[in-house]
Amino acid sequence: MMNSSILISRNLCVGYNDKAVMSDINFSLEAGKILAIVGPSGCGKSTLMRVLGGLDEPLSGECELLGIKVTEAQVRQREMTLRRSGFLFQGSALFSSLTLRENVEMPMREFLGVSNLQIRQLAEYKLALVGLAEAMDKLPSEVSGGMAKRAGIARAMALDPEIIFLDEPSAGLDPISSARLDELILKVRESFGTTIVLVSHEVPSILRTADFCVYLDSDTGTMGAYAPPKDFLQPGSHPKASAFFSQIKIS
Ligand SMILES: Nc1ncnc2c1ncn2[C@@H]1O[C@H](COP(=O)(O)OP(=O)(O)O)[C@@H](O)[C@H]1O
Ligand SMILES: [Mg+2]
């Protein structure tokens, strides 16, 4: 029987140069779900996301992505998980000298053995999907922050990944653009069944989109809780996660 979990973290400890940033990270996520990695700034969300995506090594513990133990995998297996995953890094990072369409075409040129015309059509389809049909030939500097983020999601979706990792996709956006981005994330999941791991510290956005939430506790340096975000609004849940979700400042 195939395990339907697409992402499993077992006692993961992540950090830099043998210095732990976050430890005791344990969860298992089913395919097709939306997971939010949540916690205060600097607590290790981006660090954890890169390890979960198989981009960086953990200090210890085990991570299983798409049925492959990326922490033990051979280079070739790891490349296969990368080919089946999409990433949007913090700050969107489109190539500034390329149009939105050319940005989305880039991973396709690298990995798909199809004609230029087909690549163009696939890229245009992905950009239309994220509501950028009219802006495909613009440079990143010529579009709004929200549009650049949507282009970044189209690029993350370029190779029809089974899972996408989005690091603070709505950071710096106004509330309306942020809400539109949340709708897009839900639409991607609904249309393609894509599993989505997103880093966020925006409570309304997490409550709108995420099925589950990894709450990172910066005081203990460990995973404080793993639960559906709405659970943190109930009495008796993890106190710090609950305070975070109720937007209460505790010192
Ligand atoms: N390349 C790096 N080398 C050493 N320390 C880093 C590096 N990147 C981030 N850090 C540190 O790791 C901690 C967690 O960072 P990060 O994962 O970026 O937090 P978050 O995404 O939650 O804001 C911070 O203390 C940060 O200074
Ligand atoms: Mg970060």
- Residue ranges of the domains in the chain? 1-84+163-251, 96-160
Which numbered ligand comes closest to the C-alpha of 14?
Answer: 1
Would you list the DSSP string of 5-21? EEEEEEEEEEEETTEEE
Q: Is the CB of 91 under 6 A from ligand 1?
A: no
Q: Which of 13, 21, 37, 216 best tests ligand 1's pocket when mutated (most atoms within 8 Å of CB)? A: 21
203 touches 245 (CB < 8 A): yes
Question: Of all atoms in ligand 1, which is nearest to the CA of residue 15?
Answer: 12
Phi, psi of 211 (to 5 degrees): -85, -35
Per-residue model confidence (pLDDT) at position 1: 45
Q: Is the CB of 19 under 6 A from ligand 1?
A: no
Nearest to 171 by CA among 205, 218, 136: 205
223 touches 45 (CB < 8 A): no
Question: Of all atoms in ligand 1, which is nearest to the CA of residue 216?
Answer: 22
Per-residue model confidence (pLDDT) at position 249: 53
Residue type at 39 in one-letter notation: G
62 touches 71 (CB < 8 A): yes
Residue-wise burial string across 174-210, b where 16 or more C-beta atoms lie within 10 A, e elsewhere: eeebbebbbebbeebbeeeebbbbbbbbbbebbbbbb
Entry pTM? 0.94
* pLDDT tens-digit profile, the chain (251 residues): 455 899 999 999 999 998 999 999 999 999 999 999 999 889 999 999 999 999 999 999 999 999 999 888 888 888 889 999 999 988 767 999 999 999 999 999 988 889 999 999 999 999 999 999 999 999 999 999 889 999 999 999 999 999 999 999 988 888 898 999 999 999 999 999 999 999 998 898 999 999 999 999 999 999 999 999 999 998 888 899 999 888 755 44
Per-residue model confidence (pLDDT) at position 4: 86
Best CATH choice for the domain 1-84+163-251 from the list 3.40.50.300, 3.90.180.10, 1.10.490.130, 3.30.365.10: 3.40.50.300
> What is residue 162's DSSP assignment?
S
Which numbered ligand comes closest to the C-alpha of 15?
Answer: 1
Which numbered ligand comes closest to the C-alpha of 90?
Answer: 2
Q: Is the CB of 22 under 6 A from ligand 1?
A: no
Nearest CA to ligand 1 atom 8: 47
Q: Is the CB of 52 under 6 A from ligand 1?
A: no
